[in-house]
Amino acid sequence: MSQVYNWQLGRKMAYPFEEKHPDHQFAFVFNINRCIGCQTCSMACKSTWTFSKGQEYMWWNNVESKPYGGYPQNWDVKALQMLEKANPGKQEWDATKNGARRPYGAYGGMTMFEAASRRIGPEGPQRVLGYLPSDEEWRFPNTGEDAAKGPKGARGTYDKQGASLPEHNSWFFYLQRICNHCTYPACLAACPRKAIYKRPEDGIVLIDQERCRGYRKCVEACPYKKPMFRANTRTSEKCIGCYPRIEGKEELSNGTPWETRCMAACVGKIRMQGLVGIDKKTGDWSNDPQNPIYFLVKKEKVALPLYPQFGTEPNGYYIPPRWVPRPYLHQMFGPGVEEAIERYTAPSRELLAVMQLFRAQQAIIARFEIKEGPKVYETKINGKPWALFNDTVIGYDAKGNELVRMTVEEGLQKRPAERANSI
């Protein structure tokens, strides 16, 4: 195994291949607080890529209710339990050890790559710790949907005391999932056919259907369980990051890179996707605070990786749900949770402007600019003064063309009296 630097863990870690990075990396931010669980994203992906025979169980995009939902069922609980079994009681973070190259501090536990050497089964040590879900676990994508966590030990009930922030007693939330197009993909590491590759131009991870022989090592290895087996072709398939759209090949786009189908279709306006520049020597994101994804993840630190402790350095980031008990969120998103929720609850002037760009249009926004507007409201949040400014945010594509212009306050269209009943 080589040693590679994983900035989300704040340390080097073992990985089967040498460290190598693309020019840009496909990345996205999902704001969990805004998701309404409508599954429009899931249907947008399915109706574009996975509607054919043999793909019935393929939900490259799925939205599951936490804590009880999961597709396949219990994928995260099982992966966390395997990690814990391999390295009991040591999956911990030291958040005090933070710095420029370790924004969340340092992870002292084991990753799925490191723990693999501890679990020697009949086949010998594996490259990645993982498991193959049973057919039943793939069968019901909606299990646990909208089921809230209630009082401990009282099944099927909810807390009668009602709910108030900062943490609700009865709670659930929607977790939106696609392939994370990881920096250190577990699927790629495990494939004995070398059928999986990471594109050097945008870091999208793909399975070569010609080389794949359906051994399902990727299905077993991916801790997020995002490769899926297709029985009639006997190959594995996964989210392709809608790469034709990223390449500007969408027919209506006139050559401009467009966000993926699941992003563009999002009704709740929770999704933003883009490309971040990568320093090929270090693997760090190139300093680019005017790129909205860079701004949200690296500068504002309001969006966090999903289960960073697995070690794949996932490129999907989530704004955590404000009402959920912190230990649960800490396990899911690492030690940056408190800071992210604090910043989201009382957003900075810049953050509030950038939030307006979510789903304002379809093309990938490479850069934003903010023009300051007047103060329109003042209040106190958590006892501290907070003000709302009606700033204007402008999004540009990579060539500097203006794509969109939004104000923080939404414009109000008043229907004239003669059209009062015109619907």
Q: Which residue is nearest to ligand SF4 (CB)?
A: 268
Q: Which is nearer to ligand SF4, 6 or 391 (CB)?
A: 6
Q: Any contact of residue 39 with ligand SF4 (CB under 6 A)?
A: yes
**Of the candidates 35, 175, 302, 365, which one interacts with ligand SF4 according to CB under 6 A?**
35
Q: How far is 393 from 281, CA to CA, in rounded Å?
A: 33
Q: Any contact of residue 360 with ligand SF4 (CB under 6 A)?
A: no
Distance of CA 106 to the CA centre of its chain: 21
Q: Any contact of residue 41 with ligand SF4 (CB under 6 A)?
A: yes
Beta strands in 209-303 (DSSP E): 228-230, 235-237, 271-277
Task: Lay out the site mask for ligand SF4 across 220-249 (x = CB under 6 A, - = otherwise).
Answer: --x-x-xx----------xxxxx-------
Q: Which is nearer to ligand SF4, 259 or 300 (CB)?
A: 259
**Of the candidates 60, 107, 173, 307, which one interacts with ligand SF4 according to CB under 6 A?**
60
- Number of C-alpha atoms within 13 angstroms, CB side, residue 322? 13
Beta-bridge partners for 398: none
Q: How far is 236 from 231, CA to CA, in rounded Å?
A: 9
Picking from 38, 77, 68, 73, the residue whose alpha carbon sits closest to that of residue 57 is: 73
Q: Any contact of residue 186 with ligand SF4 (CB under 6 A)?
A: yes
Task: Lay out the site mask for ligand SF4 across 135-174 (x = CB under 6 A, - = otherwise).
Answer: ---------------------------------------x
Task: Lay out the site mask for ligand SF4 across 292-321 (x = CB under 6 A, - = otherwise).
Answer: --------------------x---------
Q: Any contact of residue 112 with ligand SF4 (CB under 6 A)?
A: no
Task: Lay out the site mask for ligand SF4 across 69-98 (x = CB under 6 A, - = otherwise).
Answer: ------------------------------
Q: Which is nearer to ligand SF4, 60 or 317 (CB)?
A: 60
CB burial of residue 414 (10 Å; 0-12, 13-18, 19+): exposed
Q: Any contact of residue 185 with ligand SF4 (CB under 6 A)?
A: yes
Interface with ligand SF4 (CB under 6 A), residue total 43
Selected range binding ligand SF4 among 80-88, 268-276, 286-294, 335-343, rule: CB under 6 A: 268-276
Shortest Cβ distance from residue 246 to ligand SF4 (Å)? 9
Q: Any contact of residue 120 with ligand SF4 (CB under 6 A)?
A: no
Amino acid at 313: E
**Of the candidates 27, 179, 319, 324, which one interacts with ligand SF4 according to CB under 6 A?**
179
Q: Any contact of residue 207 with ligand SF4 (CB under 6 A)?
A: no
Q: How far is 57 from 11, CA to CA, in rounded Å?
A: 37
Q: Any contact of residue 177 with ligand SF4 (CB under 6 A)?
A: no
Q: Any contact of residue 195 with ligand SF4 (CB under 6 A)?
A: no
Shortest Cβ distance from residue 357 to ligand SF4 (Å)? 15
Residue 175 host element (H or E): strand 173-177
Amino acid at 367: R
Q: Any contact of residue 63 with ligand SF4 (CB under 6 A)?
A: yes
Query: What are all long-range contacts of 225-229, with beta carbons under 8 Å and residues at least 24 apart?
Result: 225/71, 225/72, 225/75, 225/133, 226/60, 226/177, 226/178, 226/179, 226/180, 226/187, 227/179, 227/187, 228/57, 228/58, 228/60, 228/138
| Residue 143: CB atoms within 10 Å | 17
Distance of CA 161 to the CA centre of its chain: 33
Which string of DSSP letters, residue by residue, matches 15-71?
A: ESS-----SEEEEEEEEGGG-----HHHHHHHHHHS-STT-TT--SSEEEEETT--S
b or e along 366-403 (b: 16 or more beta carbons within 10 Å of the residue's beta carbon)? Answer: bbbebeeeeeeeeeeeeeeeeebbebebbbbbbeeeeb
- Number of C-alpha atoms within 13 angstroms, CB side, residue 83? 24
Q: Show the tokens assigned to 96.
A: 């005090």
**Of the candidates 1, 17, 38, 386, which one interacts with ligand SF4 according to CB under 6 A?**
38
Q: Any contact of residue 13 with ligand SF4 (CB under 6 A)?
A: no
Q: Any contact of residue 21 with ligand SF4 (CB under 6 A)?
A: no
Which residues contact ligand SF4 by CB under 6 A?
Answer: 35-41, 44-45, 48-49, 60-61, 63, 174, 176, 178-182, 185-187, 205, 222, 224, 226-227, 238-242, 260-262, 266-268, 270-271, 312
